[in-house]
Amino acid sequence: MTDWIRSQQGRGGAAELGPLQLAWLGDAVWELHQRLRHCRHPGRSDDLHRAVVAEVKADAQASVLDTLDPFLSDQERDLVRRGRNRAGRGPRRGEGSVYGRATGFETMVGWLFLQNPARLAELLDRLEETENDLS
């Protein structure tokens, strides 16, 4: 499911972007990844939309980060930290720490998409393997 990421060539340019810009990009990459995963399942568009929304909200992203943490390099953890520290408080109803971890995850995804798409695909494949092991 990560072939679309693997086919990307690292574009560079992540050094010119701040953590929040990388998080914005990472959010889009993560949502596209989830949409591609879910579009292969038959269903009504509103059901597919709800399934994707459940995967891209902050608490789901924070959970994904927790799952991937043992596989992250020190550089990737540093990207997560930078994003988390720039996240702010988050939405009024949400928990700030969850929002911060989700923003850190998005920052890492955005950076990897630009700099090392093969590594991003590797991490997402690892996530798929972990989910399959739990089912």
Residue 72, class by beta-carbon neighbours within 10 Å (0-12 exposed, 13-18 middle, 19+ buried)? Answer: middle
User: Would you name the residues annotated as active-site residues?
Assistant: 27
Q: For residue 77, which of 65, 94, 92, 91 has the smallest C-alpha distance?
A: 65
| Number of neighbouring beta carbons within 10 Å of residue 101 | 24
